[in-house]
Amino acid sequence: MARTPTGKSKAGTMEARGGWPRPDEPQRYSASRDELLEYYRQMVLIRRFEERAGQLYGMGMIGGFCHLYIGQEAVVVGMQAALEQTDSVITGYRDHGHMLAAGIPPEAVMAELTGRAAGISKGKGGSMHMFSVEHGFYGGHGIVAAQVPLGTGLAFAHKYKGDGGVAVTYFGDGAANQGQVYESFNMAELWKLPVIFIIENNQYAMGTSVNRSSSEDQLFRRGESFRVPGLQVDGMDVLAVRGAAQTAVEWVRAGKGPLLLEMKTYRYRGHSMSDPAKYRSREEVAAVREKSDPIEALKKEIIDGGHADEAALKEIDKAVRAQVTGAADFAEEAPEPELKELYTDVLLGRY
């Protein structure tokens, strides 16, 4: 549920709210049965996909860096549901979930992870560098926080063209300490650009917790110096995210300038596949899984609310498993890029 934290702030009773306009506190979204089942399906798809990617990494089918989204599924599913065709999305290197939520076929994503010609980037990008302009997905960027000014630029293009689009720009709690984020906040507010900044606060920048890296650990306040209003959202609750997304999209699309959403979330797996996991306890991870898992929570809500029974959800689970197995088989069997692809796509023009 969206909330304005009080006691947790280091600033104590100091009110971070300035005198400039800000949206009303978002309401938890009231979803239809079909919407609930679709959010459930998408979250399960991301979870199963990422589990399978982890296995393929262990088998040596996926190389290099591979950052899994397990635990954070509610953020991207709740946000994406509020977007329109004209909108654009950009994120960092933990991008598989964003691509699946954008409707990009799992085969094309998985085949990119295994470095095959059928991958969304022809096997030339890999886990961290995937794009699909067709789906309004602008990457997939490997340099921490680089996507923040790039997303601000996408918003600049929306405004310049007057196409009514909004740029949704995701970054992590680690990226939130990069200077270019604040350069972007400044220009976005100055020029009232249609951009939603989303900090996916999964509590750890690699192995460094927010408390050990951030003087202001209430990250939704990070825009206040630039008059960018911020809201903190329970990123483990897909309906809270969906509600906040509604508020944000309406605010930004109305030309009121940027908005910052801090999604409080958690990743169950390591920062990447090579994470030694020495910086937090097993108990901490187990406790979050036990008490706050976004998929389990939605499942319970669907069943308790009488929207569908367990058997119906099992059907969804089964279909997703088959889809992910199909994608993994495809990605394992698809051919590698031809060697001539080494030299293509460097420049578009002939000089």
Partner 1 sequence: MAEIKLPAMSPTMEEGTLAKWLVKVGDTVKPGDVLAEIETDKATMELEADDGGVVSELHVEAGAEGVKVGTVIATIAGEDEEPAPAKKPVAEKAPEKAPEPLKGHGDEKAEATVTESPVIKAEAPQPPAPSGPTKRQTLREALRDAMAEEMRTTPEVFVMGEEVAEYQGAYKVTQGLLEEFGAQRVVDTPITEYGFAGLGAGAAMGGLKPIVEFMTFNFAMQAIDHIINSAAKTLYMSGGQMRCPIVFRGPNGAASRVAAQHSQNFGPWYASVPGLIVIAPYSAADAKGLLKSAIRSPDPVVFLENELLYGQSFDVPEGDDVVVPIGKASVVRSGADVTLVSYSIGVGVALEAAAELAKDGIEAEVVDLRTLRPLDTATVLASLAKTHRMVVVEEGWPVCSISSEIMAVAMEQGFDDLDAPVLRVTNVDVPLPYAANLEKAALLKAADVVAAAKKVCYR
Any contact of residue 220 with partner 1 (CB under 8 A)? no
Q: Which is nearer to partner 1, 190 or 206 (CB)?
A: 190
Answer for which of 42, 72, 88, 292 binds partner 1 (CB under 8 A) is: 88
- What's the gap between Cα 1 and its chain centre? 18
Any contact of residue 113 with partner 1 (CB under 8 A)? no
Q: Which is nearer to partner 1, 149 or 243 (CB)?
A: 149
Query: Which parts of 8-37 interact with partner 1 (CB under 8 A)?
Result: none
Any contact of residue 131 with partner 1 (CB under 8 A)? yes
CB 131 within 8 A of CB 138: yes
Print the binding letters for residues 141-160 with partner 1: x by CB under 8 A, - otherwise.
xxx--x-xxxxxxxxxxx-x
Give the C-alpha distances (Å, rounded to integers) separating 133 from 32, 59, 208. 30, 31, 34
Any contact of residue 186 with partner 1 (CB under 8 A)? yes
Any contact of residue 351 with partner 1 (CB under 8 A)? yes
Any contact of residue 89 with partner 1 (CB under 8 A)? no
Any contact of residue 183 with partner 1 (CB under 8 A)? yes
Any contact of residue 339 with partner 1 (CB under 8 A)? no
What is the spatial distance between Cα 45 and Cα 140, in angstroms, rounded to a whole number? 19
Q: Which is nearer to partner 1, 287 or 342 (CB)?
A: 342
- Strand spans (E) along 184-305: 195-201, 204-205, 208-209, 230-234, 259-264
CB 52 within 8 A of CB 135: no
- Strand spans (E) along the chain: 88-91, 137-140, 167-172, 195-201, 204-205, 208-209, 230-234, 259-264
What is the spatial distance between Cα 169 and Cα 152, in angstroms, rounded to a whole number? 8
CB 125 within 8 A of CB 112: yes
Any contact of residue 184 with partner 1 (CB under 8 A)? yes
Any contact of residue 114 with partner 1 (CB under 8 A)? no
- Minimum CB distance to partner 1, residue 90 (Å): 8
Binding site for partner 1 (CB under 8 A): 88, 90, 119-125, 129-134, 138-143, 146, 148-158, 160-161, 167, 179-180, 183-184, 186-187, 190, 344-349, 351
